[in-house]
Chains A and B, each alone.
Chain A
Amino acid sequence: MQKLLILSVLLGAVLGKEDFVGHQVLRISGADEAQVQKVKELEDLEHLKLDFWRAPAQPGSPIDVRVPFSSIQAVKIFLESYGIEYTIMIEDVQSLLDEEQEQIFTSQARTSSTDNFNYTTYHTLEEIYGFIDLLVAENPQLVSKLQIGSSYEGRPIYVLKFSTGGEDRPAIWLDTGIHSREWVTQASGVWFAKKITQDYGQDPAITAVLDSLDIFLEIVTNPDGFAYTHSTNRLWRKTRSLTSGSSCVGVDANRNWDAGFGLAGASSSPCSETYHGKSANSEVEVKSVVDFVKDHGNIKAFISIHSYSQLLLYPYGYQKEAAADQNELDQVAKSAVEALTSLYGTEFKYGSTYTTIYQASGNSIDWAYSQGIKYSFTFELRDTGRYGFLLPASQIIPTAQETWLALQTILEYTLNHPY
């Protein structure tokens, strides 16, 4: 409301090229009729060039006045000498105006289609959800939005479905952003979504995939955490669930799955970044995916995308023992990594989670694998630590592009190796 006031009152002045550097807006409280009268006297002093936004009225009602820089001292001395209370509402009107201008320009640039969506910057939850709606609206034959649940704090959890028809087709599952601070993953998810719609019907490989398989893509798997990284703590990883008996918040959503739950490779301390939660699937963000995948019953590949470290991992994380399909998974990983590296030379290591990164229990792909989803992989995207989670936005597209090549390899392999 206040901002609208400024805009409406001052836009004219701005256009008239007036300058408000150092101007302050004071809120004066006239305690009684006498004080209000005194302030009215101020109004009459034209040389002060005061601009009353809320004129003196009755005692108790706030009086708001914009005071030019040159008059500030005089006005304050005046008020203080009569014991009239005031607060500084706006320290510098020009700064606020400048900020407002910026916001106007930014919102004018807000997207009207996924073609002018800015893929080279990081976005808020609202912007990503807006993107999702646009994409669906632009591609109603191919893309639909499913709500698979609501987050702990009540945010909708959306999954994009890419399908060319059929019923209960075998499908691929992709998720990004389960750890909210890994911003390049949600950003890549947005890019993948757009890429799929661009390439279907153009690129023979993805067209072949979508003619037989469906793709499910969950871009913001941890919406509460993601909102928190924007509002409060850029390096927040976990969900935002409250744990009774602890002042610490959040569960590591990638230690909460029912595969080796609670074993070494996760923490039982609520304050830890790898806290597994009080029981498997205690996190609604995890349960929603579990229910979806089980109900679907025909997922053939499950890929979770994280950052950073530049790795492609397959089960197991909770134990050292090799997965039954280790040889095949290793081969697939090898060709996926080769495809990725071919674009910009980005080097990835690959192997089982346990041997390549560390023991991690209760993680998503171990669970998926235990459900019989053979092609289960975790990606850790750029970089290897120079910027870590704070990957420059300029690297979003190259990261998404190279990762897409690896994903395509896995998608095609899944298509060609039904089971």
Chain B
Amino acid sequence: MPPLRPAAAPSPLLALALALALALQGAAAAGPGGLLPQAARAALHFLNFRAGSPSALRALAAVQEGRARINAEKECTVDLVFTTERHNPEEGEERLGKCSARVLFRNQKPRPVINITCTRVTEKNKRQQEDYLLYKQMEQLRNPLDVVNIPDNHGHIDPSLRPIWELAFLGSSYVMWEKTTQFLHYYMAQLSSVKQWKTNDGAIDFDYTVLLHEFSTQEIIPCRIHLVWSPGKPLKVKYHCQELQAPEEASGTEGGSAVAPTELSNF
């Protein structure tokens, strides 16, 4: 009987994938960059954008479990379970939501593919009501065109301007989702200026600039965003970011077609 040959060593890639899968078990992030919270945030940007509801924006509370695997094409798939809280915290009790998501980072390419399901925290009717109220508040705003720097340098947001900040964040969510890769992720640092603000026909036409904070480069990236929002309708977004380091500049339009902001489409 021939001596048993030792089993062939697993391919290095498989070994890596296995190691990564094991290492990422549990809530603690591993590997440079804390991949799990990053993936969770990307998933939330996507969720927030698709929900199209500035009054119901969700933020990451905590990652509960997750694992990642890398395939032969160097695509990284992250499966996660995490809790969420309101982006705009209210006084009083905080209801945590729960989401499970699969995030696929294409090898160094942005626009991760997201599959996400979350427990419903707010009833659909209530959410629509709150959006409608928000819309009404925004209709009342005097001269949002004078708006610069929200929050201001001291982190203060005038309560009457808070809805603008939420709406700006909603538009930024689209941008931040699109730009995220397994190595780069984003936060909205500031709404720096409003170029145009029109409310008519139940829609808000909002043209503004935000500053995004990019990890891990620490860069501050100005993005010009133009959105049209109507309570209960899908969000339309166009944007153009100044890429200070990379030679190309990144821009995008939701839906993949160059549409005029007044056109609405279904997903």
Chain A positions within 8 Å of B, measured between CB atoms, are: 121-122, 229-230, 234-235, 237, 252, 267, 269, 271-274, 320, 347, 349, 351, 354-359, 384-395
* A230 contact set on B, CB distance < 8 A: 153
On whether the beta carbons of A355 and B31 are closer than 8 Å, the reply is yes
Chain A proximity of B204: nearest CB distance (Å): 23
Known: A121-B154, A392-B151. A272 touches B32 (CB 8 A): no
On whether the beta carbons of A358 and B32 are closer than 8 Å, the reply is yes
* B157 contact set on A, CB distance < 8 A: 392
* A122 contact set on B, CB distance < 8 A: 153-154
* B153 contact set on A, CB distance < 8 A: 122, 229-230, 234, 390
* A389 contact set on B, CB distance < 8 A: 189, 213
* A351 contact set on B, CB distance < 8 A: 28
On whether the beta carbons of B29 and A356 are closer than 8 Å, the reply is yes
* A235 contact set on B, CB distance < 8 A: 189-190, 211, 213, 220
29 A–B contacts from the bound complex (CB under 8 Å): A121-B154, A122-B153, A122-B154, A229-B153, A235-B213, A235-B220, A252-B218, A271-B244, A273-B219, A274-B218, A320-B32, A347-B62, A354-B32, A355-B30, A356-B29, A356-B34, A357-B32, A357-B33, A358-B33, A358-B215, A358-B216, A359-B216, A384-B60, A385-B41, A389-B213, A390-B152, A390-B153, A390-B189, A393-B156
B245 on the A face (CB < 8 A)? yes
On whether the beta carbons of A390 and B151 are closer than 8 Å, the reply is yes
Q: How far is the CA of A389 from the CA of B219 in the complex (A)?
A: 13
On whether the beta carbons of B220 and A273 are closer than 8 Å, the reply is yes
* B244 contact set on A, CB distance < 8 A: 271
* A347 contact set on B, CB distance < 8 A: 62
Chain B proximity of A398: nearest CB distance (Å): 13
The 10 closest A-B pairs by CB, nearest first: A392-B155, A358-B216, A273-B218, A385-B187, A390-B155, A390-B151, A234-B153, A393-B154, A391-B155, A358-B33
Q: How far is the CA of A388 from the CA of B172 in the complex (A)?
A: 15
The residue on A at minimum CB distance from B216 is A358
- 0/1 per residue, B150-181, Cβ < 8 Å to A? 01111111000000000000000000000000
The residue on B at minimum CB distance from A252 is B218
* A273 contact set on B, CB distance < 8 A: 217-220
* B217 contact set on A, CB distance < 8 A: 267, 272-274
Q: How far is the CA of A393 from the CA of B152 in the complex (A)?
A: 11
Q: How far is the CA of A366 from the CA of B44 in the complex (A)?
A: 34
Chain B positions within 8 Å of A, measured between CB atoms, are: 28-34, 41, 59-60, 62, 87, 149, 151-157, 187, 189-190, 211, 213, 215-220, 244-245
Chain B proximity of A284: nearest CB distance (Å): 21
Chain B proximity of A232: nearest CB distance (Å): 11
Known: A271-B244, A355-B32. A393 touches B215 (CB 8 A): no
Q: How far is the CA of A359 from the CA of B32 in the complex (A)?
A: 6
Q: How far is the CA of A395 from the CA of B157 in the complex (A)?
A: 14
Contact of A349 among B28, B151, B213, B216 (CB under 8 A): B28
* B30 contact set on A, CB distance < 8 A: 355
Chain A proximity of B142: nearest CB distance (Å): 18
The residue on B at minimum CB distance from A354 is B32
The residue on B at minimum CB distance from A358 is B216
Q: How far is the CA of A357 from the CA of B215 in the complex (A)?
A: 9
Highest count of chain A CB atoms <10 Å: which of B59, B153, B219: B153
On whether the beta carbons of B154 and A349 are closer than 8 Å, the reply is no
Q: How far is the CA of A391 from the CA of B60 in the complex (A)?
A: 17
Known: A349-B28, A351-B28. A386 touches B87 (CB 8 A): yes
Q: How far is the CA of A229 from the CA of B187 in the complex (A)?
A: 19
Chain B proximity of A211: nearest CB distance (Å): 38
Q: How far is the CA of A355 from the CA of B199 in the complex (A)?
A: 47
On whether the beta carbons of A269 and B189 are closer than 8 Å, the reply is no
The residue on B at minimum CB distance from A350 is B28
The residue on A at minimum CB distance from B152 is A390
* B190 contact set on A, CB distance < 8 A: 234-235, 390
* A385 contact set on B, CB distance < 8 A: 41, 59, 187
* A272 contact set on B, CB distance < 8 A: 217, 219, 245
Chain B proximity of A360: nearest CB distance (Å): 8
Q: How far is the CA of A65 from the CA of B128 in the complex (A)?
A: 58
Q: How far is the CA of A77 from the CA of B248 in the complex (A)?
A: 54
Highest count of chain A CB atoms <10 Å: which of B28, B29, B154: B154
Q: How far is the CA of A281 from the CA of B87 in the complex (A)?
A: 41
Q: How far is the CA of A369 from the CA of B29 in the complex (A)?
A: 24
Contact of A392 among B28, B62, B87, B154 (CB under 8 A): B154
Q: How far is the CA of A351 from the CA of B59 in the complex (A)?
A: 23
Q: How far is the CA of A234 from the CA of B148 in the complex (A)?
A: 13
Chain A proximity of B151: nearest CB distance (Å): 4
On whether the beta carbons of A388 and B245 are closer than 8 Å, the reply is no
Contact of B218 among A237, A271, A384, A392 (CB under 8 A): A237
Chain B proximity of A154: nearest CB distance (Å): 24
Known: A235-B211, A273-B219, A393-B155. A388 touches B29 (CB 8 A): no
